[in-house]
Each structure stands twice: as C-alpha cells, then as structure tokens.
Amino acid sequence: MTVNRRSWSAPNDRELRLWRVGRALTLAFAAAVLVAGGVLYGLVMLLDFKEIDTTAKLDAKTLFDLVKLSFGVVAGSGALVALVVAYRRQRVDEAGAHREATRLHTERFSQAVDKLGSDSPAVRLGGVHALAGLADDAPDDSLRQTCIDVLCAYLRLPFSPDPGEVPASFPDGTSPSEEQADAHQNKRDQYRALREVRRTILRLIGDHYRIPKGAHRSWQGCNLDLTGVTIDGQMNFRGAAFSSGNVSFNGAAFSSSYVSFEDAKFSGGSVNFRGAAFSSGNVNFNGAAFSSGNVNFNGAAFSSGNVNFNGAAFSGGNVNFNGARFSGGNVDFRSAAFSGGNVNFNGAAFSGSDVHFHSARFSGGYVYFTGTAFSGGNVSFAEAAFSGSNVSFAGERGSASFSGSNVDFSTSTGPAPAGLLWTVGTPAPAEVRLRSDWLPATP
C-alpha cells in the first residue's frame, strides 16, 4: 500500500505569538497603575474626602507609612514582572511540548504506515494497532482524524476475492498438480490473512466509537469514510452516540455481515447507506433513539438481508429509504415509537419482503409511503396505533401500489392513514385487510 507523505502541520497548529518583554511589561504596569488609581479614586469618593489640608505638616508616622507604601509599590512591580516572565515561560514550554509531541507522532505515524504497506499480513496487523494507538494518543483532533482516515482508506483499497477451494479439475478436464494445488492453497491462505486485517480494522472502529465522547480513546464525532467498502465481518456501534461527524457506508457491500447500532443515539451528524447492497447481512437499530441527524438508505438494495428497528424511538431527525429495493429479507419496526421526525419510503420497492410495523405507535412526525410499490411479501400494521402522526400512502410523488402483497391493518387503532383507502380502492382486494369502520358505508 502506498501512502502519500504530506506535511503534518495541523490547521489549528499552536503558533506561538508573544509580545516583546518591554511591551508586555509596559502594558502590564500601565494596567496596574490604572487599576490602583481606580481603587484610590473609589476610596476617596467612598470616604467623601472633599479636600486635602495643604498646611498640615508631615510627621514621622506619615513619613514611615509613605516609605512602606513605596516598598509595597516596588514589591508589587517586581511581582508583576515575575508574573509576566512566568507566563511567557509557560507559553514557550507548552508550545515546545506540543511541537515535540507532534514530531514524535509524525515519526510513529510513518512507521505505522510502513507496516500497513508490508507484504506480511502479521506486520500489517501490527500497523493497524499502531495507527489505532496513534489516534488515541494524538495531540489534537486533526491528527486523530488523519489516522482514522488512513485506516478507512485501507478498507477502501481493492483486494482479490476468495479463490475458493482447490478445484478437483480444470475446465480442460486435467487435475491440478501438487504444485498447482499448493499455490492455490497459498493464495487462499493469503486472502484469509488479509481479510483478518480488514476485520480487525472494522472491530477497532466499532470499539472506539462505543466509548463516550470526550473520554480517552473515544472516536465519537470523527468522520468515517467507508464508501464502497466490502464488509463481510462485524461492526458494533451498540450504544454509540452520533452527535456530530459523518459516517459513510455509501455503496458498501454487506455480505453475510452484521452491523449493530442497537441502543445508539442519533442527535446530530449523519450515517449514510446510499446505494449500499445487503446480501444476507444484518443491520440492527433495535432500541435506537433518533432525535436529530440523518440516517439514509436511499437507493440501497436488500436481498435476503435484515434491517431491524424494533423498539426504536423517532422524535426528530430523518430516516430515509427513498428508492430502496427490498427483494426478500425483513424490515422490522415492531413496537417502534414515531413521535417526531421523518421516515420516508418514497419510491421504495418491496418484492417478496416482510415489512412489520406490528404494535408501532404513530403519535407525531411524518411517515411517507408515497410511490412505494409492494409486490409480494407481507406488510403488517397489526395492533399499530395511529393517534397523531402523519402517515401517508399518497401524495405529490404518487400513491403506493399493492400487487400480490398481503397487507394487514385489521387490528390497528386510530384513524385510517392518509391516502390509504384511495390507494387500495373500493372494494379492497382480498389480500388487503382493513378495519371495517374505515370502509365507506354500503347503501
């Protein structure tokens, strides 16, 4: 792996800017005189001195007090000089310590990147852990983000697919020789070793994102660019808080993988799965809380995968499945609570999938199914409660269509969702079960 070397000066690098000593002392002394004069004037006004008797003689006691005052002024001036000098020394020491920390970080970074580009998978694993440790100990956020960017870039690099088992015979009918079989097995061992490097990065990202923001080793708030990455392992964001930053899985391929956002809190930032492909993978948002921010599955393709939002709470933000395609698999919103925000399925296509809103509570916010196509599979709103939110099956983007799907609203409560009866038509098809009190009275 080749990494372009670049300057390691952070955008907010601590540039030492100090005034000259003479200027600093002059300004500090002038400020002290002004403060002292202000205090004296305040005391005079407070004690209501009208005039000073010019005929009074200077006795020994008064002279001694003036001498003590003079020494006090000199001592105060000395303390002021010492304070200014100590402040400058502290600033210089801090700037020097930061430069030294940055220099050491740069050296360690170069060594870690060299390991990550090694031909040996074991050395690459060492480079992965070294970069993760560098991100933990980075002197500032920009250096931490750079380490994370390198790890994400490694995941985006192309890699050879699994060569599979040694073939029993070649297309020409000949059997592989011992040397050919050994070479094929070596290629597969190399693939598995490099796959372990990728899975280690995914695990480390999830581990660090679960640490509370502000704590040592936490990567919350950092950006993750996993665009186009193949994820065939596990990523665990359980309990993570997304209050800032951007996490991108756009165009990623989830193959027999598991990504968990269970009990995660989305109060800002964005998590994007635009154009991602889920084949037998699982994305889990059970118990997640959406109060702000965006989660986008626009244009994603689900084939035999599962997306679970069981018990999720939507009180703000946006969750979008616009144009998503579901061919098999499950989308589950059982017992989810919709009290705010937006959930959009505009233009989505369900063919042979199971979509469950069983016991979901719609008390606020907006849920749109305009232009959604249900062909085959099952859509269940059994025991769902419609009490205040806007659930719409028809709008400016068209109306939903049901062809061959089993749709169940028969045990739901509350008024019928907007546009549902118009979309289903009268009389309702046998595969669409509606509550009898929603249907128009027959003459």
132-169: pLDDT as tens digits: 999 998 888 888 999 999 999 999 999 888 888 888 88
Task: Decide if pLDDT at 49 tops 50.
Answer: no
3-13: pLDDT as tens digits: 444 434 444 44
What single letter denotes the amino acid at residue 201?
I
Task: Decide if pLDDT at 27 tops 80.
Answer: no
Mean local confidence (pLDDT), 311-331: 91
The span from the CA of 108 to the CA of 111, in Å, is 5
Strand order in the sheet with 354-356: 234-236, 258-260, 282-284, 306-308, 330-332, 354-356, 378-380, 406-408, 432-433
Give the pLDDT band (50/70/90) at residue 1: very low
pLDDT, residue 71, reads: 60
pLDDT, residue 430, reads: 84
Mean local confidence (pLDDT), 396-420: 89
The span from the first CA to the last CA of the chain, in angstroms, equals 76
Report CA dihedral (401, 249, 362, 351) to the nearest 10 degrees: 20
pLDDT, residue 12, reads: 43
- Beta-bridged to residue 282, according to DSSP, are 258, 306
pLDDT, residue 57, reads: 57
**How is residue 283 written in tokens?**
């994305």
Give the pLDDT band (50/70/90) at residue 298: very high
Report the chain's mean pLDDT, rounded to a whole number: 83
More confident residue, 64 or 289: 289
Share of the chain above pLDDT 90, in %: 44
More confident residue, 328 or 324: 324
The span from the CA of 232 to the CA of 254, in Å, is 6
pLDDT, residue 119, reads: 92
Mean local confidence (pLDDT), 102-131: 91
pLDDT, residue 352, reads: 85
**How is residue 414 written in tokens?**
């509350």
More confident residue, 140 or 208: 208
More confident residue, 275 or 25: 275
- Of the listed ranges 73-87, 155-169, 289-303, 344-358, the least confidently predicted one is 73-87
| Residue (of 340, 348, 338, 357) closest to 397 by Cα position | 348
User: What size, in residues, is the chain?
Assistant: 443
The span from the CA of 55 to the CA of 39, in Å, is 26
pLDDT, residue 431, reads: 87
Mean local confidence (pLDDT), 253-262: 88
pLDDT, residue 28, reads: 60
